[in-house]
Amino acid sequence: MTQRLTKSLVDRMQLGDTLWDDLKGFGVRSQGRTPVYFVKTRINGRQRFITIGKHGTYTVEQARQKARRLLTAARDGDDIARHRAEERNRLSLRDLAPIYLEEYGTRLKPRTLVEYRRLFERTILPAFGSRRVDDITKGDVARFHSGLARTPRKANFAVACLSSCMTWAIENGYTRPDLQNPCRTVPLFRESNRERYLTEDEIDRLFTTLDAVDAERAASASVTAAIRLLLLTGARHSEITTLKWEYVDFDRGMIWLPDSKTGRKPIHLNAEAVEILRHHPRDPDNPYVIQGHRHGTHLVNLWKPWYMICDRANLTGVRLHDLRHTHASLAINNGASLYMVGKLLGHAQPQTTARYAHLADNPLKALSAEIGAAIRRRQRKP
């Protein structure tokens, strides 16, 4: 049955539905999360389905207009491949970005996809949104990168995201075939690794403040439990805030994450961490350990209460991720090798753990000092 497609009709489609427009050969089908517009026609006597694009990227009317051009081209014997290439070459980066994020985003972790979307919206599209994809040059990218010199880490990340988008566009035919990725040889800024470790005194102040916050109910129990667990386990922020009770193995003293940044990952629980989990309030209707403000959700904003706690504990320049660094530094200062620390933190690559190499000298210096003291004591004996 054919009918004139409208936005409301497409919005109500269920998985597996196909709707046909009153423009013969133009339709939309739902085979995934987003309905896709297409045309059905014959080219050189063979039936062909030609994808137009996703609902949301195209409005119904935009898709209908493109379908009309494709159907006319097919009827007149035009080269459809050339016609589609011309259509794609007219794409601006603002047109391409949502297609890229929708299709390539399925390969990214949810948190990474959020960061990509924010970077495109706030930084990349204001600079390149109106530019045709084929017209972006290496010089354009280099000037864009230099303009972000005050924030080198952000500048490098923006070029990496744009480069990923351009590579994807080239591989998927959204540019002319001979286009080279303009981001590939742009020199990046040198980034200095920022390492901050809490001292023993700072750790004491942090836990004293957490106890006071609990007593005053100045923050939820989930907030203080999350912060304690971050320091005690060395886990990543997202691994604790999205932790489900089903992942916790009290018998073995382990957390078994089915999907972390580096894949399936075990997290070892010391006695202090187990004690926190055993006494943490548990909602039978919420699968998450660190509960959010809305029913059945996990906590999504730990930074705001963290800054409040840092202020009360007189901690300056400390990020939540620095609790992970502190966990690693404590392990090394207690004699753990870099290999063991890498296993403890779940690093996929040894070079990631290498940032802690300078800390590995601390136990050696302490051991050397003990040897020196022992020799001095022997020398003093009559």
CA 216 to chain centre: 35
Residue 154: is its pLDDT beyond 80? yes
The single-letter code of the amino acid at 205 is R
Q: What is the pLDDT of residues 221-263, one digit of tens each?
A: 999 999 999 999 999 998 999 999 999 999 999 999 987 655 6
Mean pLDDT, range 346-363, rounded to an integer: 67
Task: Give pLDDT, residue 86.
Answer: 58
Residue 295 has phi, psi (to 5 degrees) of: -60, 130
* Of the candidates 110, 109, 126, the residue with the CA atom closest to the CA atom of residue 162: 126
Q: What is the dihedral of CA 272, 276, 278, 283, to 10 degrees?
A: -160
Residue 53 has phi, psi (to 5 degrees) of: 160, 180
Residue 381: is its pLDDT beyond 60? no
Task: Give pLDDT, residue 230.
Answer: 94
Mean pLDDT, range 343-364, rounded to an integer: 68
Q: Tokens for 271, please give them.
A: 């006695």
- Specify the pairing of strand 248-249 against strand 254-260: antiparallel
* Of the candidates 226, 205, 213, 218, the residue with the CA atom closest to the CA atom of residue 314: 205
- Specify the pairing of strand 248-249 against strand 46-54: unpaired
Residue 310: is its pLDDT beyond 90? yes
Query: Rounded CA gap, 241 and 245, in Å?
Result: 12
* Of the candidates 163, 205, 158, 203, the residue with the CA atom closest to the CA atom of residue 184: 163
Average pLDDT over the chain, rounded to whole? 85
Buried b (16+ CB within 10 A) or exposed e, 199-231: eeebbebbeebbeebeeeeebbebbbbbbbbbb
Residue 301: is its pLDDT beyond 80? yes
The radius of gyration of the chain from alpha carbons, rounded to an integer in Å, stands at 28
User: Considering only 189-203, 274-288, 312-326, 368-382, which range has the smallest mean pLDDT?
Assistant: 368-382
Task: Specify whether the backbone of 115 is left (phi greater than 0), alpha (psi in -120 to 50) or beta.
Answer: alpha
pLDDT band of 96, cuts 50, 70, 90: confident
CA distances from 212 to 218, 224, 316 (A): 8, 10, 19
Mean pLDDT, range 274-290, rounded to an integer: 94
Task: Give pLDDT, residue 53.
Answer: 80
* Of the candidates 318, 281, 278, 274, the residue with the CA atom closest to the CA atom of residue 299: 281
- Specify the pairing of strand 26-29 against strand 36-43: antiparallel
Residue 175: is its pLDDT beyond 60? yes
What is the residue whose two structure tokens read 């390492």? 195
Task: Give pLDDT, residue 302.
Answer: 92
Q: Give CA angle at 169 (167, 171), nearest 5°.
A: 70
Task: Give pLDDT, residue 375.
Answer: 64
**Which residues 6+ apart lie within 8 Å of 327 measured at CB?**
231, 232, 233, 234, 344, 345
pLDDT band of 157, cuts 50, 70, 90: very high
Task: Give pLDDT, residue 77.
Answer: 65
Mean pLDDT, range 299-322, rounded to an integer: 91
Task: Give pLDDT, residue 208.
Answer: 96
Q: What is the pLDDT of residues 20-78, one digit of tens each?
A: 999 999 999 987 778 889 898 887 777 778 888 888 878 899 889 989 988 888 777 66
pLDDT band of 334, cuts 50, 70, 90: confident
pLDDT band of 355, cuts 50, 70, 90: low
Cβ pair 256, 342 in contact under 8 A: no
Residue 349: is its pLDDT beyond 90? no
